[in-house]
Structure 1
Amino acid sequence: MTIESASTAIVAARIQSTGASEGSRLRQSRLVQTMQTASQFGKPPGYIISALVCSLGGFIFGIDTGIIGPVTVMDDFKHYVGDPSPTVHGVIVSSILIPAAFSSFFAGRLADALGRSRGIAIGSLIFALGAALEAGSVHISMFIVGRVIEGIGEGLYFGTLIAYICEISPPRYRGALTTAPQLLTTIGIVTGFFTCYGTVNIRSSFSWRLPFLLLAGYAFLFAAIVFVWLPPSPRWLSLRGRTDEAERTWEKLGVAATDREKIMNQIEGSAIEMDSSTDADGSLAMATATGKPTRRTLPKSKKDKLLDVFSPDARMRLFLAVFLMGMQQLSGIDGVLYYAPLLFQQAGIETNQSTFLASGVSAIVIFAVTIPATIYADQWGRRISTILGGLGMAATMFLMGGLYAGGAANEGAGRWVIIVCIYLFAVLYCISWAVSIKLYAAEIQPQRTRASATSIAHGSNWITNFLVALFTPSLLAHSSYGAYFLFGACTLFTALVCCVFMPETRCKSLDDIDLAFHGKSPVDALKRLGRKLKRGPRRRVAPSV
């Protein structure tokens, strides 16, 4: 049996074994038909290949996440730096994040000006230059400059590749394809951890330089493939009136004519919604997939377009997205990913090789649970998975903090409970917040503000990620339990906020989502909660006999 036919059989079996809705079964049956057709011709459609190639950007992002923590605790690196303090340790790890947050705000403008594929190529090339500087650094300041440059490239390409996949994917496959970068990120984390596991015993600075050298090579190769082979977005070409080139690109990607109509109609819907919210002083010709031009007006100014995210119907959704994306990092997940060797060392695993192995196993666990989490993302409610996942993560953090505070972590049983809790925390995060929060933050936004609001929310994510990466070593150095109680409290608070302010969006249309937020404010939500608490639980009246 070939790989293609085996994959088709797996999908078909999942359709038969799951009790999905009729619409879901129909979409999955179409996927089986597409895979069968692809296997007959020897390769999948062009849009699948392009999406997977584009998703390799997540792979290099994951490698950097996986190697930076182990590298900073290697003996040769600490000798090179001069046995850094916890503060310097945090600066080394986190110096990539603020530049990434800053450049992410300009990534959309670069992609709009030069095209999605060129924007991705430029960002990944800058990322590769930064990694090369880290590998060849002769002083710690040069190493940090390399991480800053790497962060600029990361912010430029990572958000753009998601937009590119959305723009080339047929609507019925978009959900699965847009989760591919997340899956490749987890594979990159596994690769990064085990790369360091393999180089830690090299008795020279090559032990920590080699992982960055390999990362630079991967990033250069990715940039070259994207620049030479990845086709431009047909939607981007159509918006610029290059309809003939867009048609040829659609054919190259293998997207059916009916799917092209749906994708292009979404552009027209976005334009119409934008026009209804602002006055206009100009117009722009836009061609649909059939080549028929339409006219849409342009917003008054870029300032009006930016400030539209604070309009009455959009600002609560913006604030909720910013809050959720920020608190996603304050759960402590990147503290676990960046400093896993340090956490396992604190739990009693002594040698670097053993801590790297434990970290690699945690990355494998993350990868394993990410697969079903991405497959069933549309079958789990966003609200319930966020709340239950938050409560579960808070419980694991409080348990670890309590064991350290009570001195039980030094005992055999307590030590293994902490190690198991680290793995359990990562699993709970990957099946809940890793999928639900980023998806929810984007889908609740009005169409006209989605790009701007999502960029702002991701900026919040980068900034809080920076704070976690910067201060976690200091927290662990000054208090063995303080970081766990802090992250647990943030996660519990987020779950409580979601109980009050987070409406469910699963299986709802964009119009239904708009209605769920229409005319509501945080004050109204608190008033409703107060009335419910005041009334108390409803009492059942026993029937009279």
Structure 2
Amino acid sequence: MSSVYESTITPGHFRVAGKEFPNIKWWNRKNLRNTYLLLTLAILTSATNGYDGSMVNGLLSLDQFIDYMHHPSGSIKGLFSGIMSLGSFVALPVIPYIADGMGRRWGICIGSIIMILAVVLQSASVNFQMFVAARFFLGLGVAIAHGSAPLLITELCHPQHRAIFTTVYNTTWYVGSIVAAWLTYGTNNIDSQWSWRIPSIVQAAPSILQITCVWFVPESPRWYISKGQNEKALSVLAHVHAEGDANDEVVQLEYEEIRETIAIEKEAEQTGWLEIFKTKGNRHRFIILVSAGFFSQWSGNGLVSYYITGVLDTIGITDSDMQLKINGVLNIWNCIVATTMCFFVDKVGRRPLFLISTAGMCMSFVIWTILSERFAATQVKANGSAVVFMIFLYYTFYNIAWSGLLVGYTVEILPYSIRAKAMCYMFACVDLALFFNTYINPIALDSIAWKYYIVYCVWLAFELVVVYFFYIETKNTPLEEIARHFDGDAALVGGNAATEKGRIIEHEIHEKEKTAAVTEERVGSI
């Protein structure tokens, strides 16, 4: 499905407010280079999530942990992971009020503090109940930081780099995953409780980096404007995007477009939780948010992300050392593919990447299922080895789109006025899917083994249909102007790229300001 608003651009250029400008080299600009470096360290929330998934995989492969937790059943294993998703879900209602009320940086900081405290509790656990409680609070902190970090990236990055940087954000999941996978592989040789306590302690590292670095990163200029602090917003835009030159044409166009668009959105009073259901364009956005949240976790990836031990057990690979090696190598491969694809988001486009990714997952998962059935029937090792290859192929397709674009695409399609709240709908779907997966997957694998994969084969075919009909292209479009892809002429866009509706509302705002000024002048003269 193509968008109503088509956006083409000259190669080697980016667009702001209807004008094209030559691409810049960020590494040659001191302020932009320093901001991106600090921002990279300040947005490691996704790495904490990735670390957790891989750590749980690793811990469930450690005999020391299994013994300490008294050989947990499939349902208990599910609770270890699922309770974190429940904690994230509980936090969702307060996230927009922190991100919109206190600022994007405070959201990251508060979430990181909660995560650090939860890691302390988890690492010091003396029983199953204490471990589970710690993971609930870990999910709470992750959700708060995760609800602010992508907003800060999207709203702070230079227009030329926004797509790449926001896509890279979610791929840091694999950075955390790699560290946890190989750390648990190394601590497997420690014959004591430290074999699982050390990986748990290290989980605090991303949060410590976030708290340390986030205050050196400027606040979102869009947040400043929403709070009436226009001079601060202009200063941030100038500092980050033009080496401090507030008169730079790109900065001036950005500033005017952002300021007028946010004013128009406020005038239209489109800020509530139910706003996502009120217009055709917003309902389209809602379908994408909900589907992306569920599809990112219900595509079969949850089987491997948290329960690779169960998957490998079904194909005869039961040695914990080999399971940990496969988990570690898989995460390195995933990181390479996912990070590489971030640089093709604007070149290839969001929609083609989603279609290729989903179709490839469906194909590889069907073959994966057939090979698993063949191994169960024949016990031929070659079939088991082929399943491992298909797992790598499946993840190659998954990482083409679903790894990075889950956040990168969903955050950019939302207008500022509902961005923080609407993202919570997507995160809620992720949490619900994760809770289901982490609790149901181990039970299903224990009960029906490879037959459970058939469910995902059917679901992946359904995903492909939804992506084809509802996911539209947004490449090469400035953040404020993406609204035109969904709302057409009804989009609320200010600046040089304003729509007719935007100009009408903007005119009304100016008339009100004139009337207020005249009234104030008359009162002052009396």
**What is the alpha-carbon root mean square deviation over aligned residues?**
2.8
Aligned twin of 1:413: 382
Code of the residue aligned with 1:462 in structure 2: it is: D
Aligned twin of 1:356: 324
Code of the residue aligned with 1:268 in structure 2: it is: R
Counterpart-to-counterpart distance in 2, 1:244 and 1:500: 43
Contact 2:107 2:147 in 1 (8 A): no
TM superposition shift of 1:195 = 0.7
- TM-score with structure 2 setting the length: 0.81
TM superposition shift of 1:188 = 1.3
Deviations 1:189-223 (A, max 9, x none): 11110111110111011101100111124423432
Alpha carbons of structure 1 residues 311 and 244: separation in structure 2 relative to 1, 3 Å: closer
What is the correspondence of 1:215-294 to structure 2 with a 5 Å cutoff?
215-227=203-215, 229-242=216-229, 246=233, 249=236, 253=240, 254=243, 256-257=245-246, 258=248, 259-275=250-266, 277-278=268-269
TM superposition shift of 1:447 = 5.5
TM superposition shift of 1:167 = 2.3
Unaligned runs of 5+ in 1: 1-20, 279-298, 519-545
Alpha carbons of structure 1 residues 507 and 250: separation in structure 2 relative to 1, 3 Å: closer
Counterpart-to-counterpart distance in 1, 2:405 and 2:26: 27
Q: 1:195 aligns with which of 171, 174, 183?
A: 183
Alpha carbons of structure 1 residues 115 and 448: separation in structure 2 relative to 1, 3 Å: closer
Code of the residue aligned with 2:97 in structure 1: it is: R
Counterpart-to-counterpart distance in 2, 1:52 and 1:432: 20
Alpha carbons of structure 1 residues 163 and 318: separation in structure 2 relative to 1, 3 Å: same
Matched, 1:311 2:278: yes
Contact 2:154 2:411 in 1 (8 A): no
Alpha carbons of structure 1 residues 180 and 55: separation in structure 2 relative to 1, 3 Å: farther
Higher relative contact order, chain-length normalized (CA < 8 Å, sep 6+) = 2
196-205 vs 160-169, which moves further: 160-169
Counterpart-to-counterpart distance in 1, 2:277 and 2:448: 40
Deviations 1:389-431 (A, max 9, x none): 2222122222222233343572121011100011111111001
Deviations 1:98-117 (A, max 9, x none): 21123133222112222221
TM superposition shift of 1:444 = 4.1
Matched, 1:433 2:421: no
State how many pairs are aligned: 470
Code of the residue aligned with 1:389 in structure 2: it is: S
Counterpart-to-counterpart distance in 2, 1:394 and 1:481: 16
Aligned twin of 1:543: none
Counterpart-to-counterpart distance in 2, 1:338 and 1:104: 23
Aligned twin of 2:67: 79
Alpha carbons of structure 1 residues 366 and 255: separation in structure 2 relative to 1, 3 Å: farther
Deviations 1:474-521 (A, max 9, x none): 111011113311122111111123333444444465355125799xxx
Unaligned runs of 5+ in 2: 1-7, 16-20, 491-526
Code of the residue aligned with 1:433 in structure 2: it is: W
Contact 1:131 1:146 in 2 (8 A): yes
Aligned twin of 2:524: none
Contact 1:131 1:216 in 2 (8 A): yes
SS for the counterpart of 1:479 is helix
Counterpart-to-counterpart distance in 2, 1:255 and 1:61: 35
SS for the counterpart of 2:296 is helix
TM superposition shift of 1:323 = 2.1
Code of the residue aligned with 2:27 in structure 1: it is: M
Aligned twin of 1:533: none
Aligned twin of 1:173: 161
SS for the counterpart of 2:347 is coil
Deviations 1:208-248 (A, max 9, x none): 11001111244234323335x34433443344344555566
Matched, 1:514 2:506: no
Aligned twin of 1:324: 292
Contact 1:322 1:457 in 2 (8 A): yes
Aligned twin of 2:503: none
